[in-house]
Amino acid sequence: MLGLVTVLAAIGGLKTTDAASRSEPAPTSSESARAARVLGTLPGQEVQPVLLVATRQDGHPVTSTDLEALDELGRHLPTPAGHPASSATRSADRLAATIQLPVATAASNTDNAATIATLRERIADARPEGVQVLVTGGPAFGADIASAFDGANVTLLLITVGIVALLLLLTYRSPILWLIPLAVVALADQAAATVTARLGAALDLQFDTGIVSVLVFGAGTNYALLLISRYREELHTHPDHLTALAAARRRTTPAVLASNVTVVLALGSLAFASTPGIRGLGVAAAAGLLITLVCVLVLLPAALAITGRRVFWPFVPDAGTSRDVRAGAFGRVATRVVRRPAVMASAAVALLAVLGTGLFGTNLGLSQTERFRGSAESATGLQVLAQHYPAGAAQPTVVITDAHHAEGVARAAATVPGVHVLGAPSAAGTAGDTAAATGTGPVVVTVISDASPGTAEARQSVEAIRAAVHQVPGAAVLVGGPEATDVDARAGNEADLRLIVPLVFAITGLVLLVLLRSFVAPLLLLPVNALSALGAIGAGSWVGTHLLGWPALDLQVPLIAFLFLVALGVDYTIFLAHRARDEAVAHGTKDGMVRAVGATGTVITSAGVVLAAVFAALGVLPLVTLGQLGLIVGLGVLLDTLVVRTVLVPALAGLVQDRLWWPARPTRPTRSTRPTRSRRAATGTGEEPADAEAVPANRAVP
């Protein structure tokens, strides 16, 4: 009851806090990010232009009459005082025209969405007959992203709850039991949402609340499944349900703690990432999972203690009705695996390696027009613009310097092949902290490239511009804009990958070392999880490219997916290895692994299906990035559940046997627990007689 009151108090006290919604793809220390901050300090930055792109609906050239009508439209659209709309400018092929329209913008994309929506309504009512007018540009893109998420997170939550409820109902086959873990995890999700929102506001974090919610539901359900499964197993042994619950909690808590600590520390390592979105997601998700752990370990046992054995109705477990776990489907599979461990291990490794080849030829980086799952007017407008104007006009590069060196910087930029300087340098005035500028204040030089946005050629153009303008003697220069941001985001993600991956392996290995008290087990299990993660990313990339039409993987997807797959995938390894270590005390490593697979097979498979399904639910969100992450992590969890845990890990245990636990050695059955051949024959089953002395399965390994 105290735990419930604490959680409800946290929700009530923090629920007014909103999570940050912005997302900066490039590291805060990068040149493009510094350029954006300088631009943000300049006077008039609360007014930004959107671009109206006009074409005739019949595909014919834009006429002079159309241009006059478009000019009239621009004059009648609302603009901030002193910032009139530009005249309509026709493209060289005469098939399109553009107008730059200043709009008053706010700090929040959500607030801008209302402004852009009103603007589009007025354009739809007043546009020239037979002419299509699309609103695009920076503010329009941000508004479309915010609008795309209208109601999406609620939809995601409802679908996630529905998936978890259905799978719990199928797992327990009880009309009552599934409600308890679902209620506990839902409560944990609400507490995590409010706490992480407050944390995000306090630390200025950027993260996607949908991903955090999916993690909470997936991990929380996994913990609940493990505890309830062991509780049901103990009810077959203990007449008193409280004794059974205490035994289940005692024997599962180390594995749950180890699992949670692994994921939390792995996510916490993202605090060292340079990319703001990755850093914020790591901190917020780690906090959410800690809250989930407390709820599951405190509230769930309390609820089970109150409801008692009858909560499993109509399949109520009775004391004295336990069965041989090796007789089930998973036990039989494990038995076959350990009989031919080398063949089974080779087959599993080969499968994962083949799946990993899907990474070959995978492109990285989505352009702005490729980020939406559905159609967005701003993205369509950019596509039309690119068809009729110089390719780089859709996403110009900005060069910021001081007034004294502006002409020299513009001349240097113009020397780069395929680059054009637009007009004269624009004096922006003196304002705030302009770290890049000296003298009289910052000046903006706008340049465009002949290269199409989002291509390797466009990124090379940015590098060439930077190399040229930084050579101007005495000039302090910053090169920014969308293409420069893309260059810096790629560099930041590569640096984060090199830093975070070793940290995640070190954290995971340390947790396995402490939990299993073995040097050999982590050395075998970590490469297995890494191979499984690579196989999942390769398989997801192949499916997305060839079946779903993905043009590329988003820059952040490989790192986040790899982190989730290693950290979450090791959960099932921890659940299995912890049980196998206990079973090895009484039965030896080989038979102990068979018993562990048989005992945990159903619950781990159920947990894997739940986690895969809730990640797949990310596909309902409007951004391609989240759909990619959901598909890859979902496939990876299924691989971990069905291939790694069911085949590869038991095969490795069959190969190395007791050496798996080195330097510890499991206590093998004493002579009195090993019936002679004649005693086994007397039972007629090949099993031990019922009166054989048994070594307690939960005895600690010395």
Measured CA to CA, the distance from residue 69 to residue 50 in angstroms comes to 19
Average pLDDT, the chain: 83
What pLDDT score was predicted for residue 666? 66
Q: How many CB atoms lie within 10 A of CB 451?
A: 20
Q: What is the pLDDT of residue 687?
A: 40
Confidence band, pLDDT 50/70/90 cuts, at residue 7: very low
- Residue 29: its pLDDT value, please? 92
Dihedral pair phi/psi, residue 397, rounded to 5°: -100, 135
Rounded to whole angstroms, the Cα distance separating 76 from 93 reads 27
Q: Please list the residues that pair with 103 across neighbouring strands.
A: 48
Residues facing residue 100 across a β-bridge: 51
Q: How far apart are CA 300 and CA 184, in angstroms?
A: 6
What span, in angstroms and rounded, lies between the C-alpha atoms of 320 and 313? 18
- Whether CATH 3.30.70 fits 47-147: yes
Q: Side chain identity at 424, as an amino acid letter? A: A
Least confident of 380-389, 513-522, 687-696: 687-696
User: What's the CA gap between 583 and 595, in Å, rounded?
Assistant: 7
Residue 12 CA to residue 328 CA, distance in Å, equals 46
CA 190 to chain centre: 19
Is pLDDT above 50 for 80?
yes
Torsion of CA 234, 235, 236, 240, to 10 degrees: 110
Closest Cα partner for 315 from 179, 172, 169, 182?
Answer: 172
Q: Which residues contact 517 (CB under 8 A, 6 or more apart)?
A: 661, 664, 701
The percentage of the chain sitting over the pLDDT mark of 90, rounded to a whole number, equals: 32
176, two tokens: 């009552």
Q: Which CATH class is domain 152-368+487-669?
A: mainly alpha
Q: Considering only CA atoms, which of 127, 105, 107 is closest in space to residue 116? A: 105
Nearest Cα residue to 626 out of 611, 636, 616, 637 = 616
For the beta sheet containing 47-56, the strands, ordered from the edge strand earlier in sequence to the opposite edge, are 89-90, 97-104, 47-56, 131-136
- Over the Cα atoms of the chain, what is R_g? 30
The band of 426, judged by pLDDT with boundaries at 50, 70 and 90, is low
State the pLDDT at residue 682.
Answer: 39
pLDDT at 357 over 70: yes
Query: How far apart (Å, rounded) are the C-alpha atoms in residues 73 and 147?
Result: 25
H helix runs in 236-275, sequence order: 241-268
Number of H helices, E strands in the chain: 21, 9
Residue 388 has φ and ψ, to the nearest 5°, of -120, -5
| Listed range (202-206, 473-477, 480-484, 551-555) with the worst mean pLDDT | 202-206
The yes-or-no verdict on residue 117 having pLDDT over 70 is yes
Distance CA 255, CA 580 (A): 12
Per residue in 26-74, pLDDT (tens digit) is 898 999 999 988 887 877 667 888 889 999 999 999 999 999 999 999 9
Band (107; pLDDT cuts 50, 70, 90): low
d(CA 387, CA 69): 22
Backbone angles phi, psi at 411, to 5 degrees: -65, -40
Instruction: Write the CB contacts of 139 (distance below 8 Å, at least 6 apart in sequence).
Output: 48, 50, 103, 105, 112, 115, 116
Residue 142's contacts (CB-CB under 8 Å, 6 or more residues apart) are: 109, 112, 113
Q: At what angle do helices 649-656 and 557-616 cross, to 10 degrees?
A: 110
pLDDT band at residue 422 under the 50/70/90 scheme: confident
Please state the pTM of the whole predicted model.
0.78
**CATH 1.20.1640.10-classified regions of the chain:** 152-368+487-669
What are the tokens at 284?
Answer: 């917020």
pLDDT at residue 22 is higher than 70: no
So what CATH class is 396-480?
alpha beta
For 600-622, what is the mean pLDDT? 83
Weakest-pLDDT range from 21-30, 155-164, 572-581, 685-694: 685-694
Q: How much is the pLDDT for 19?
A: 44
| CA atoms within a 13 Å half-sphere pointing along the CA-CB vector of 448 | 14
Q: In which residue are the tokens 């003697």 written? A: 473
- The boundaries of every CATH 3.30.70 domain in the chain are 47-147, 396-480
Q: How confident is the model at residue 450 (pLDDT cuts 50, 70, 90)?
A: confident
